[in-house]
Amino acid sequence: MKLSQFKFNLPESLVANNPAEQRDEARLMVLHKDSGKIEHKIFKDVLGYFDDKDVMILNNTKVFPARLYGNKEKTGATIEVFLLRELNKELRLWDVLVDPARKIRVGNKLYFGDDDLLVAEVVDNTTSRGRTIRFLFEGTDEEFRKNVEILGETPLPKYIKRKATAEDKERYQTIFAKHEGAVAAPTAGLHFSRELMKRLELKGVEFAEVTLHVGLGTFRTVEVEDLTKHKMDSEQFIIEPKDAGIVNKAIEEKRKICAVGTTSMRAIESAVSANRTLKAANDWTSKFIFPPYDFSIANSMITNFHTPESTLLMMVSAFGGYENVMNAYEVAVKEKYKFYSYGDAMLII
Protein backbone atom coordinates (compact mmCIF):
# COMPACT_ATOMS: atom_id res chain seq x y z
CA MET A 1 0.00 0.00 0.00
CA LYS A 2 0.97 3.61 -0.51
CA LEU A 3 1.33 6.45 2.00
CA SER A 4 -1.16 8.63 0.09
CA GLN A 5 -3.91 6.04 0.70
CA PHE A 6 -3.90 7.06 4.38
CA LYS A 7 -4.60 10.75 3.83
CA PHE A 8 -7.80 12.28 5.18
CA ASN A 9 -8.88 15.77 6.05
CA LEU A 10 -8.80 16.41 9.79
CA PRO A 11 -10.08 19.81 11.01
CA GLU A 12 -7.83 21.25 13.71
CA SER A 13 -10.86 21.73 15.97
CA LEU A 14 -11.10 17.92 16.37
CA VAL A 15 -7.64 17.60 17.95
CA ALA A 16 -8.25 17.06 21.69
CA ASN A 17 -6.24 19.48 23.80
CA ASN A 18 -7.67 18.22 27.08
CA PRO A 19 -8.82 14.83 28.39
CA ALA A 20 -12.51 13.93 28.85
CA GLU A 21 -13.83 14.97 32.25
CA GLN A 22 -14.03 11.33 33.40
CA ARG A 23 -11.63 8.78 31.91
CA ASP A 24 -14.35 6.29 30.98
CA GLU A 25 -16.77 8.87 29.59
CA ALA A 26 -14.92 9.66 26.39
CA ARG A 27 -16.88 8.66 23.30
CA LEU A 28 -16.44 5.18 21.85
CA MET A 29 -16.98 4.18 18.25
CA VAL A 30 -17.51 0.44 17.81
CA LEU A 31 -16.48 -0.94 14.42
CA HIS A 32 -17.55 -4.47 13.51
CA LYS A 33 -14.80 -5.63 11.19
CA ASP A 34 -16.80 -8.34 9.41
CA SER A 35 -19.72 -6.16 8.41
CA GLY A 36 -18.25 -2.65 8.64
CA LYS A 37 -21.19 -1.71 10.93
CA ILE A 38 -20.56 1.26 13.23
CA GLU A 39 -22.08 1.97 16.66
CA HIS A 40 -21.72 5.15 18.74
CA LYS A 41 -21.23 4.59 22.47
CA ILE A 42 -19.50 5.91 25.61
CA PHE A 43 -16.22 4.22 26.61
CA LYS A 44 -17.65 2.52 29.70
CA ASP A 45 -20.06 0.67 27.35
CA VAL A 46 -17.06 -1.47 26.39
CA LEU A 47 -18.29 -3.63 29.26
CA GLY A 48 -21.11 -4.94 27.09
CA TYR A 49 -18.75 -6.43 24.49
CA PHE A 50 -16.69 -8.74 26.74
CA ASP A 51 -17.56 -11.78 28.83
CA ASP A 52 -16.21 -14.23 31.40
CA LYS A 53 -12.69 -15.49 30.54
CA ASP A 54 -12.13 -12.95 27.74
CA VAL A 55 -8.72 -11.26 28.00
CA MET A 56 -7.64 -7.64 27.67
CA ILE A 57 -3.94 -7.00 27.06
CA LEU A 58 -2.75 -3.76 28.69
CA ASN A 59 0.55 -1.92 28.25
CA ASN A 60 1.78 -1.09 31.78
CA THR A 61 4.62 1.24 30.74
CA LYS A 62 4.89 4.44 32.77
CA VAL A 63 5.54 7.87 31.28
CA PHE A 64 8.34 9.81 32.96
CA PRO A 65 8.57 13.64 32.99
CA ALA A 66 10.83 13.70 29.96
CA ARG A 67 10.77 17.40 29.02
CA LEU A 68 13.31 19.58 30.85
CA TYR A 69 14.24 23.22 30.36
CA GLY A 70 17.83 24.20 31.06
CA ASN A 71 20.17 27.12 30.52
CA LYS A 72 23.34 26.98 28.50
CA GLU A 73 26.54 27.96 30.29
CA LYS A 74 27.90 31.47 29.60
CA THR A 75 25.00 32.65 27.36
CA GLY A 76 22.16 31.55 29.66
CA ALA A 77 20.05 30.68 26.58
CA THR A 78 17.02 28.50 27.39
CA ILE A 79 17.32 25.02 25.90
CA GLU A 80 14.61 22.35 25.82
CA VAL A 81 16.04 18.91 26.55
CA PHE A 82 13.79 15.95 25.82
CA LEU A 83 15.01 12.78 27.55
CA LEU A 84 14.57 9.82 25.19
CA ARG A 85 16.24 6.97 27.03
CA GLU A 86 18.82 6.21 29.65
CA LEU A 87 21.93 4.69 28.04
CA ASN A 88 23.97 3.99 31.16
CA LYS A 89 22.64 4.25 34.71
CA GLU A 90 26.06 4.36 36.46
CA LEU A 91 27.47 7.06 34.17
CA ARG A 92 24.09 8.86 33.97
CA LEU A 93 24.31 8.94 30.19
CA TRP A 94 21.11 9.83 28.31
CA ASP A 95 20.03 9.95 24.72
CA VAL A 96 18.18 13.28 24.29
CA LEU A 97 16.77 15.74 21.75
CA VAL A 98 17.68 19.40 22.16
CA ASP A 99 15.95 22.51 20.87
CA PRO A 100 17.27 24.82 19.45
CA ALA A 101 19.87 22.27 18.37
CA ARG A 102 22.17 24.64 16.47
CA LYS A 103 23.25 26.21 19.77
CA ILE A 104 24.32 22.96 21.44
CA ARG A 105 27.77 21.52 20.84
CA VAL A 106 29.84 18.77 22.40
CA GLY A 107 31.45 20.09 25.60
CA ASN A 108 28.63 22.54 26.41
CA LYS A 109 27.25 22.44 29.94
CA LEU A 110 23.54 22.82 30.71
CA TYR A 111 22.11 23.92 34.06
CA PHE A 112 18.62 22.92 35.23
CA GLY A 113 16.55 24.51 38.02
CA ASP A 114 16.92 27.80 39.87
CA ASP A 115 19.67 26.44 42.08
CA ASP A 116 21.22 24.22 39.38
CA LEU A 117 19.58 21.13 40.83
CA LEU A 118 21.00 19.20 37.88
CA VAL A 119 23.96 19.93 35.60
CA ALA A 120 24.67 18.04 32.37
CA GLU A 121 27.47 18.01 29.84
CA VAL A 122 26.98 17.28 26.13
CA VAL A 123 29.28 14.38 25.20
CA ASP A 124 28.21 13.45 21.65
CA ASN A 125 26.07 14.37 18.63
CA THR A 126 23.74 11.59 17.46
CA THR A 127 21.44 13.21 14.87
CA SER A 128 20.67 16.79 13.82
CA ARG A 129 18.68 17.33 17.04
CA GLY A 130 19.96 14.34 18.99
CA ARG A 131 22.71 14.49 21.61
CA THR A 132 24.18 12.23 24.28
CA ILE A 133 24.44 14.05 27.60
CA ARG A 134 25.95 13.08 30.93
CA PHE A 135 24.39 14.35 34.14
CA LEU A 136 27.09 15.39 36.62
CA PHE A 137 25.36 14.17 39.74
CA GLU A 138 26.99 12.64 42.83
CA GLY A 139 23.92 11.41 44.73
CA THR A 140 22.02 8.12 44.56
CA ASP A 141 19.90 7.02 41.63
CA GLU A 142 16.81 7.65 43.76
CA GLU A 143 17.89 11.27 44.43
CA PHE A 144 18.69 11.78 40.76
CA ARG A 145 15.24 10.55 39.69
CA LYS A 146 13.58 12.71 42.33
CA ASN A 147 15.30 15.75 40.81
CA VAL A 148 14.16 14.78 37.31
CA GLU A 149 10.64 14.45 38.73
CA ILE A 150 10.89 17.96 40.27
CA LEU A 151 12.31 19.60 37.13
CA GLY A 152 10.66 17.57 34.38
CA GLU A 153 7.39 18.32 32.63
CA THR A 154 4.81 15.78 31.45
CA PRO A 155 5.85 15.19 27.81
CA LEU A 156 2.60 16.16 26.12
CA PRO A 157 2.86 15.75 22.34
CA LYS A 158 3.68 18.97 20.46
CA TYR A 159 0.27 19.08 18.76
CA ILE A 160 -1.32 19.83 22.16
CA LYS A 161 -0.96 23.58 22.03
CA ARG A 162 -0.65 24.39 25.71
CA LYS A 163 1.72 23.96 28.64
CA ALA A 164 1.54 20.79 30.69
CA THR A 165 -0.32 21.20 33.99
CA ALA A 166 -0.54 19.29 37.29
CA GLU A 167 -3.67 17.55 35.92
CA ASP A 168 -1.64 16.17 33.01
CA LYS A 169 0.72 14.47 35.42
CA GLU A 170 -2.15 12.22 36.44
CA ARG A 171 -4.21 12.09 33.25
CA TYR A 172 -1.36 11.48 30.76
CA GLN A 173 -0.72 8.21 32.59
CA THR A 174 -2.77 5.03 32.66
CA ILE A 175 -4.08 3.89 36.05
CA PHE A 176 -2.15 0.60 35.57
CA ALA A 177 1.22 2.24 34.73
CA LYS A 178 4.05 0.44 36.57
CA HIS A 179 7.38 0.37 34.74
CA GLU A 180 8.93 3.74 33.96
CA GLY A 181 10.41 4.16 30.50
CA ALA A 182 7.90 5.74 28.09
CA VAL A 183 8.11 9.26 26.67
CA ALA A 184 4.54 9.08 25.37
CA ALA A 185 1.47 7.47 26.93
CA PRO A 186 -0.10 4.30 25.52
CA THR A 187 -3.22 6.39 24.93
CA ALA A 188 -5.94 3.75 24.44
CA GLY A 189 -5.31 2.75 28.07
CA LEU A 190 -6.04 6.29 29.31
CA HIS A 191 -9.80 5.59 29.07
CA PHE A 192 -9.80 2.92 31.78
CA SER A 193 -10.99 4.08 35.21
CA ARG A 194 -10.66 2.08 38.43
CA GLU A 195 -14.45 1.58 38.50
CA LEU A 196 -14.55 0.24 34.94
CA MET A 197 -11.64 -2.15 35.59
CA LYS A 198 -13.47 -3.40 38.69
CA ARG A 199 -16.68 -3.95 36.72
CA LEU A 200 -14.80 -5.81 33.97
CA GLU A 201 -13.16 -7.98 36.64
CA LEU A 202 -16.54 -8.76 38.24
CA LYS A 203 -17.77 -9.83 34.82
CA GLY A 204 -14.87 -12.32 34.66
CA VAL A 205 -12.70 -10.45 32.15
CA GLU A 206 -9.01 -11.18 32.73
CA PHE A 207 -6.12 -8.79 32.24
CA ALA A 208 -2.71 -9.67 30.85
CA GLU A 209 -0.01 -7.00 31.00
CA VAL A 210 2.85 -6.34 28.64
CA THR A 211 5.39 -3.52 28.81
CA LEU A 212 6.34 -1.58 25.69
CA HIS A 213 8.23 1.63 26.39
CA VAL A 214 6.74 4.05 23.90
CA GLY A 215 9.39 6.18 22.17
CA LEU A 216 9.06 9.39 20.17
CA GLY A 217 9.10 7.28 17.00
CA THR A 218 5.39 6.84 17.59
CA PHE A 219 4.98 10.43 16.28
CA ARG A 220 7.56 10.17 13.48
CA THR A 221 6.15 11.01 10.08
CA VAL A 222 6.35 8.51 7.24
CA GLU A 223 8.29 10.13 4.41
CA VAL A 224 8.22 7.42 1.75
CA GLU A 225 5.29 6.69 -0.55
CA ASP A 226 6.24 3.01 -0.69
CA LEU A 227 5.48 1.73 2.82
CA THR A 228 7.86 -1.24 2.54
CA LYS A 229 10.71 1.29 2.64
CA HIS A 230 9.72 2.91 5.96
CA LYS A 231 11.87 2.03 9.00
CA MET A 232 10.34 2.11 12.48
CA ASP A 233 12.28 3.23 15.56
CA SER A 234 13.15 0.40 17.95
CA GLU A 235 11.25 0.15 21.24
CA GLN A 236 11.90 -2.12 24.21
CA PHE A 237 9.18 -4.57 25.22
CA ILE A 238 8.76 -7.20 27.94
CA ILE A 239 6.21 -10.03 28.19
CA GLU A 240 6.29 -12.08 31.39
CA PRO A 241 5.64 -15.86 31.26
CA LYS A 242 2.49 -15.59 33.44
CA ASP A 243 0.93 -13.01 31.10
CA ALA A 244 1.80 -15.07 28.01
CA GLY A 245 0.10 -17.98 29.84
CA ILE A 246 -3.14 -16.01 30.39
CA VAL A 247 -3.27 -15.08 26.68
CA ASN A 248 -2.44 -18.59 25.45
CA LYS A 249 -5.17 -20.13 27.59
CA ALA A 250 -7.65 -17.71 25.99
CA ILE A 251 -6.37 -18.63 22.50
CA GLU A 252 -6.87 -22.30 23.33
CA GLU A 253 -10.40 -21.67 24.58
CA LYS A 254 -11.21 -19.41 21.60
CA ARG A 255 -12.06 -16.42 23.82
CA LYS A 256 -12.04 -12.77 22.84
CA ILE A 257 -8.53 -11.35 23.16
CA CYS A 258 -8.41 -7.56 23.03
CA ALA A 259 -5.18 -5.62 22.49
CA VAL A 260 -5.61 -2.29 24.29
CA GLY A 261 -3.69 0.09 22.06
CA THR A 262 -1.32 -0.13 19.11
CA THR A 263 1.62 -0.52 21.52
CA SER A 264 0.17 -3.67 23.11
CA MET A 265 -0.54 -4.98 19.62
CA ARG A 266 3.04 -4.32 18.49
CA ALA A 267 4.45 -6.07 21.54
CA ILE A 268 2.37 -9.23 21.13
CA GLU A 269 2.88 -9.40 17.36
CA SER A 270 6.64 -9.19 18.01
CA ALA A 271 6.54 -12.30 20.21
CA VAL A 272 4.58 -14.91 18.24
CA SER A 273 5.75 -18.54 18.42
CA ALA A 274 5.86 -20.93 15.46
CA ASN A 275 2.47 -22.36 16.48
CA ARG A 276 0.93 -18.85 16.73
CA THR A 277 0.88 -18.53 20.50
CA LEU A 278 2.41 -15.76 22.62
CA LYS A 279 5.99 -16.15 23.88
CA ALA A 280 7.51 -14.56 26.96
CA ALA A 281 10.11 -12.00 25.80
CA ASN A 282 12.46 -9.22 26.82
CA ASP A 283 13.52 -7.65 23.55
CA TRP A 284 13.40 -4.68 21.19
CA THR A 285 10.96 -4.38 18.32
CA SER A 286 10.94 -2.25 15.18
CA LYS A 287 7.94 -4.09 13.71
CA PHE A 288 5.91 -2.06 11.23
CA ILE A 289 2.38 -3.36 10.66
CA PHE A 290 0.44 -2.14 7.63
CA PRO A 291 -2.14 -3.78 5.31
CA PRO A 292 -2.29 -6.57 4.35
CA TYR A 293 -1.19 -8.26 7.59
CA ASP A 294 -2.22 -11.51 9.27
CA PHE A 295 -2.61 -10.99 13.04
CA SER A 296 -1.79 -13.98 15.26
CA ILE A 297 -2.91 -13.18 18.81
CA ALA A 298 -5.67 -10.57 19.31
CA ASN A 299 -9.10 -10.74 17.68
CA SER A 300 -10.30 -7.34 18.94
CA MET A 301 -8.62 -4.02 19.62
CA ILE A 302 -9.16 -0.73 21.45
CA THR A 303 -7.41 2.31 20.02
CA ASN A 304 -7.68 6.10 19.77
CA PHE A 305 -8.21 8.09 16.56
CA HIS A 306 -4.87 8.71 14.85
CA THR A 307 -3.18 11.21 12.57
CA PRO A 308 -3.50 11.07 8.79
CA GLU A 309 -0.63 9.07 7.20
CA SER A 310 0.60 7.75 10.58
CA THR A 311 1.97 4.27 11.22
CA LEU A 312 -0.72 3.92 13.92
CA LEU A 313 -3.54 4.48 11.41
CA MET A 314 -1.84 1.93 9.12
CA MET A 315 -1.80 -0.73 11.85
CA VAL A 316 -5.46 -0.07 12.71
CA SER A 317 -6.37 -0.34 9.00
CA ALA A 318 -4.53 -3.65 8.80
CA PHE A 319 -6.58 -4.92 11.75
CA GLY A 320 -10.05 -3.53 10.94
CA GLY A 321 -9.79 -3.64 7.15
CA TYR A 322 -8.62 -0.65 5.10
CA GLU A 323 -12.05 0.30 3.66
CA ASN A 324 -13.81 -0.18 7.01
CA VAL A 325 -11.35 1.96 8.92
CA MET A 326 -11.10 4.79 6.38
CA ASN A 327 -14.90 4.89 6.25
CA ALA A 328 -15.05 4.90 10.08
CA TYR A 329 -12.62 7.85 10.14
CA GLU A 330 -14.83 9.74 7.69
CA VAL A 331 -17.77 9.13 10.04
CA ALA A 332 -15.64 10.16 13.05
CA VAL A 333 -14.84 13.51 11.42
CA LYS A 334 -18.49 14.07 10.49
CA GLU A 335 -19.66 13.12 14.01
CA LYS A 336 -16.97 15.34 15.55
CA TYR A 337 -15.12 12.64 17.49
CA LYS A 338 -11.97 13.95 19.19
CA PHE A 339 -8.61 12.77 17.83
CA TYR A 340 -5.14 11.88 19.19
CA SER A 341 -3.77 11.30 22.66
CA TYR A 342 -6.56 12.88 24.72
CA GLY A 343 -9.22 12.03 22.16
CA ASP A 344 -12.02 9.48 21.90
CA ALA A 345 -11.69 5.73 21.43
CA MET A 346 -12.55 3.05 18.92
CA LEU A 347 -13.27 -0.64 19.60
CA ILE A 348 -12.71 -2.92 16.61
CA ILE A 349 -14.39 -6.22 17.15
CATH number at residue 75: 2.40.10.240
Q: Is residue 221 predicted with pLDDT exceeding 90?
A: no
Q: Which domain holds residue 130?
A: 67-153
Domain count, the chain: 2
Q: Is residue 218 predicted with pLDDT exceeding 80?
A: no
Q: Please, which pLDDT band fits residue 310 given cuts at 50, 70 and 90?
A: very high
User: What is the 3 state secondary structure string of 277-330?
Assistant: CECCEEEEECCCCCCCCCCCCCCEEEEECCCCCCHHHHHHHHHHCHHHHHHHHH
Q: What is the mean pLDDT of residues 22-34?
A: 97
Q: Please, which pLDDT band fits residue 55 given cuts at 50, 70 and 90?
A: very high
314 and 271 inside one domain: yes
54 and 81 inside one domain: no
For residue 182, is it within any domain?
Answer: yes
Per-residue model confidence (pLDDT) at position 114: 84
Q: Please, which pLDDT band fits residue 292 given cuts at 50, 70 and 90?
A: very high
59 and 205 inside one domain: yes
Q: Is residue 73 predicted with pLDDT exceeding 90?
A: no
User: Final residue of a domain: which of 122, 153, 184?
Assistant: 153
For residue 163, is it within any domain?
Answer: no
Per-residue model confidence (pLDDT) at position 69: 95
224 and 201 inside one domain: yes
For residue 222, is it within any domain?
Answer: yes
> Which of 314, 21, 334, 12 lies closest to 159, judged by CA?
12
Chain mean position to CA 22: 20
Q: What is the mean pLDDT of residues 216-244?
A: 92
148 and 197 inside one domain: no
199 and 343 inside one domain: yes
179 and 85 inside one domain: no
User: What is the 3 state secondary structure string of 173-210?
Assistant: CCCCCCEEEECCCCHHHHHCCHHHHHHHHHCCCEEEEE
Q: Is the dihedral of CA 22, 24, 26, 27 positive or negative?
A: negative
- CATH number for position 238: 3.40.1780.10
318 and 192 inside one domain: yes
247 and 270 inside one domain: yes
Per-residue model confidence (pLDDT) at position 216: 79
pLDDT (tens digit per residue) in 238-287: 999 999 999 999 999 999 999 999 999 999 999 999 999 999 999 999 99
